[in-house]
Structure 1
Amino acid sequence: MNAAELAGFLRTRRARVQPMDVGLEEIGRRQTCGLRREEVAGRAGVSLDYYTRLEQGRRLRPSRQVVVALARALKLSDDECNYMLGLVGEVPLPTPSTPKVHAGALRLLDQLDDIPAMVLNSRYDILAWNRMATALVGDLERIPEGERNTLRWLFSGPAREVSPHDHAQLGRSCVADLRTTGRYPEDPGVRQLVHELSQESAEFAALWASHEIGINRTMTKRMVHPLAGFLELNCELLAIPESSQRLMFYTATPGTATHRALRSLRETVEESFNC
């Protein structure tokens, strides 16, 4: 909790907001630049004394609900609200969820012609993929849209892409990541996925009940491909700016058997595409 930084931030943002910006009438001459403390406190639903102590840098720790209320009262952007949440040790607001794939991510998929890559949303639905991803995991076009979910494959499907050795670690990290997004239980799609997987998989239910938190950024996946044989892949997850979506791509250490196998898969893809 950084009380001094929060105090300074609140003071500068309060001075920035004019009464007319929040629907208040300017009656007479105001001694205060921007809103008065009592006006901010009233709009946020907190006492004047409590808000005053926050601006004075007292070592209070406002709840997430209070921080969000203050952000609304001060007409802050999501980035500014997330900054305040970080100052008090809270996770940021979840980014808006949209089924539309980010245009920049689609362009990047097209350019990654030698790396298997796909776009996932916050609940691990596969939204888009390139040809190398098809060569690696199979023809995703033949899978119904509602079933293109890597968590479903991991916990309630064959999950053939993951070896038993990696399954437990991968499942644990993915469930912790799903909870960390902050979309449960507000997001209906995430809530429904958690409910269904909890019913279908005792393993998922136990992991979810453990309340572990952690962002998935990188992992190792081992699999046996029908054409390329045994593969040991580095799986990277990169957040797509201003989106709840992420780019997931698979690479291999240069000079390894897996690296050579991926190059062979690429040649197979190119031959199929040119036919």
Structure 2
Amino acid sequence: MTDNDLGSFLRARRSAVRPEDVGMTSYGPRRVSGLRREEVAVLAGVNADYYTRLEQGRERNPSPQVLDALSRALCLDPDSRAHLFRLTGAVPGHDAVRAPQAVGTALRRLIDGYPNTPAFVVDRALDLLATNALTDALYSPFEPPDNLARMAFLDPAARHFYSRWEWTAQATVANLREAAGFEPDNPRLRALVSELTERSPEFGRMWDSHAVRGKTRDAKEFFHPQVGALSLTYHAFDVREAPGQQLVVYHAEPGSPSAQALSLLGSVHATSR
């Protein structure tokens, strides 16, 4: 680390971007590889002297708008963009890249490789993007099992399926509130919130509380009509190749009644299929 990490980072990233990468025509002899300072300034829409001061460490407090512009000018990926914000002590706004709907082939194979525990992928709107066989079995009481929020608030099966429905509902709404902070203009998310608010007074009440919570790790209590009570723990993992997607894996305590019930549920579901 140096006393001008911001300037060092900007210079390194500038040297990695060629004029043709950003649609600019190269002219004259170039003393350094990559973009000139003046070219970065033009691309970011800032004064060239101001950008020079940033690199030299004479200006250390650029606004979030300037940082966003520099991120675009330097073709920064999400991790590099977040690092740029951290170097200045600023907080990045919502991710400009909307969470993709497609789940990669490798990730699908990964969740299918969990035959003894439910595993699935959701986006920020809590749409179920990919599920393994045991997830399909777990959520079989719902028609259809397509979105965790719609399932919790609009499907009659939810009140019996979720042993702690109120807790589950509050956590679900808090997840959507966090998602709205990342993607406030996401039409899918806006439509979902509008539908739930219109059709469920309880959702509207919880939504107005503005509680925010992300998926990390927690215990869940279910009651499945085919195998009875299930006490499971889940872990949620960010999918780095697809920002906004999360891999969620449930598991039961080895040798517990819930583990036995999960195994039975998998066998019943496989037989029915």
Q: TM-score range by the shorter chain?
A: 0.7 to 0.9
- Mapping for residues 1-275 of structure 1, pairs under 5 Å: 4-29=4-29, 34-57=34-57, 58-63=59-64, 65-87=65-87, 88-90=90-92, 93=95, 95-138=97-140, 143=144, 148-158=146-156, 159-160=158-159, 161-163=161-163, 165=164, 167-168=166-167, 170-181=168-179, 182-243=181-242, 244-273=244-273
Contact 1:222 1:231 in 2 (8 A): yes
1:235 and 1:36 map into 2 onto residues whose CA distance is 49
Q: How many residues get paired? A: 265
1:95 CA displacement: 4.9
For 1:21 and 1:111, the matched residues in 2 are separated by 39
Structure 2 residues not aligned, in runs of 5+: none
Sequence identity (%): 37
Per-residue CA shift, 1:192-248, capped at 9, x if unaligned?
Answer: 112222333344334444444432122221122223222211122223341243332
Shift of 1:31: 5.5
Give the whole-Å Cα distance in 1 for the aligned partners of 2:27 and 2:194: 54
Q: Secondary structure at the match of 1:232?
A: strand
Q: CA 1:153/1:266 → structure 2, altered by over 3 Å: closer, same or farther?
A: closer
- The change in CA–CA distance for 1:72 and 1:94 in structure 2 (over 3 A counts) is closer
Shift of 1:86: 4.0
Q: Distance in 2 between matches of 1:267 and 1:19?
A: 59
Paired with 2:117 and 2:226, the residues of 1 have a C-alpha distance of 17
Counterparts of 1:31 and 1:120, CA distance in 2: 48
CA deviation digits over 1:24-44, x for unaligned, max 9? 445444566543433322221
Structure 1: distance between partners of 2:209 and 2:60: 31
Task: Provide TM-score, normalisation by structure 2.
Answer: 0.80
Unaligned residue ranges in structure 1 (runs of 5+): none
Note closer, same or farther for the CA distance 1:236–1:23 as it changes in structure 2 (3 Å cut): closer
* Cα distance between partner residues in 2 of 1:72 and 1:209: 35
Deviations 1:87-132 (A, max 9, x none): 4332573655433332123212332222123332221112332332
**Cα distance in 1 between the residues matched to 2:7 and 2:210:** 32
Counterpart amino acid of residue 215 in structure 2: N
Q: Distance in 1 between matches of 2:45 and 2:63?
A: 13
For normalisation by structure 1, the TM-score amounts to 0.79
> By how many angstroms is 1:252 displaced?
1.0
Root mean square deviation, CA, Å? 3.1
Partner letter of residue 223 of structure 1?
A: F
CA contact (8 A) 2:94 2:182 kept: no
CA 1:245 to 1:15, structure 2 compared with 1: closer, same or farther past 3 Å?
closer
Q: Separation in 2 of the partners of 1:251 and 1:55?
A: 49
Q: Contact 2:94/2:183 (CA < 8 Å) preserved in 1? A: no
